[in-house]
Amino acid sequence: MVDFNLTNEQALWKATVHEFVAREIKPKAKEVDESGQFNWDAVHKMGTIGLLGLHVPEEYGGAGMDAISAAIAIEELGWGCGSTALSIAAHNSLGCVPLVLYGNDFLKQTYLPIVASGRTKEGKPSKLAALALTEPGAGSDLKGGITTHARQEKDEWVISGSKMWCTNASISEYILTLVRTDPDGGSRSLSLILVPSASTGLYISPTEKKMGLKGCPTNAISYDQVRVPLEYVLGHPGDGLKQALQTLDGGRIGIAALSVGLAQAALEEAVQYAKQRKAFGKNISEHEAIQWMIAEAATEIQAARLLVYYAAWMKDSRKPYSKEAAMAKMFASEMAERVCRNAIQIHGGYGYSREYPVERIYRDARLMTIGEGTSEIQRLVIARQVLAAL
pLDDT higher than threshold 50 for residue 224:
yes
Q: Please report the pLDDT score of residue 214 as a whole number.
A: 97
Distance CA 148, CA 52 (A): 29
For the chain, what percent of residues have pLDDT higher than 70?
Answer: 99
State whether the Cα torsion 247-250-251-252 is positive or negative.
positive
Distance CA 359, CA 161 (A): 37
Please list the alpha-helical segments (H only) found in the chain: 8-24, 29-35, 40-43, 67-80, 82-90, 97-102, 105-117, 142-145, 240-276, 288-316, 322-347, 357-365, 375-389
How do beta strands 172-180 and 128-132 pair? parallel
Distance CA 60, CA 114 (A): 9
Indicate the DSSP class of residue 235: S
Distance CA 323, CA 49 (A): 31
Torsion of CA 98, 101, 104, 106, to 10 degrees: 70
How do beta strands 128-132 and 149-153 pair? unpaired
Q: Please report the pLDDT score of residue 187 as a whole number.
A: 76
Summary mean pLDDT of the chain: 95
Q: How confident is the model at residue 363 (pLDDT cuts 50, 70, 90)?
A: very high
pLDDT tens for each residue of 87-128:
999 999 999 999 999 999 999 999 999 999 999 989 899 999
Q: Please report the pLDDT score of residue 92 as a whole number.
A: 98
pLDDT tens for each residue of 207-223:
999 999 999 999 999 99
What is the average pLDDT across 52-61?
Answer: 97
Q: How confident is the model at residue 2 (pLDDT cuts 50, 70, 90)?
A: very low
CB 214 within 8 Å of CB 223: no
What is the average pLDDT across 167-194?
Answer: 93
Those residues with Cβ within 8 angstroms of residue 318's Cβ, 6 or more apart along the chain or in another chain? none
Those residues with Cβ within 8 angstroms of residue 302's Cβ, 6 or more apart along the chain or in another chain? none
By CB atoms closer than 10 A (0-12, 13-18, 19+), residue 148 is buried
Catalytic residue among 75, 76, 135, 372: 372
Q: Please report the pLDDT score of residue 4 as a whole number.
A: 66
Q: How confident is the model at residue 186 (pLDDT cuts 50, 70, 90)?
A: confident
What is the average pLDDT across 355-381?
Answer: 96
pLDDT higher than threshold 50 for residue 1:
no
pLDDT higher than threshold 50 for residue 249:
yes
Q: How confident is the model at residue 182 (pLDDT cuts 50, 70, 90)?
A: very high
* Residue 76 a catalytic site member: no
What is the average pLDDT across 328-357?
Answer: 97
CB 248 within 8 Å of CB 320: no
Indicate the DSSP class of residue 187: T
pLDDT higher than threshold 80 for residue 140:
no
Q: Please report the pLDDT score of residue 97 as a whole number.
A: 98
By CB atoms closer than 10 A (0-12, 13-18, 19+), residue 316 is middle
Q: Please report the pLDDT score of residue 374 as a whole number.
A: 94
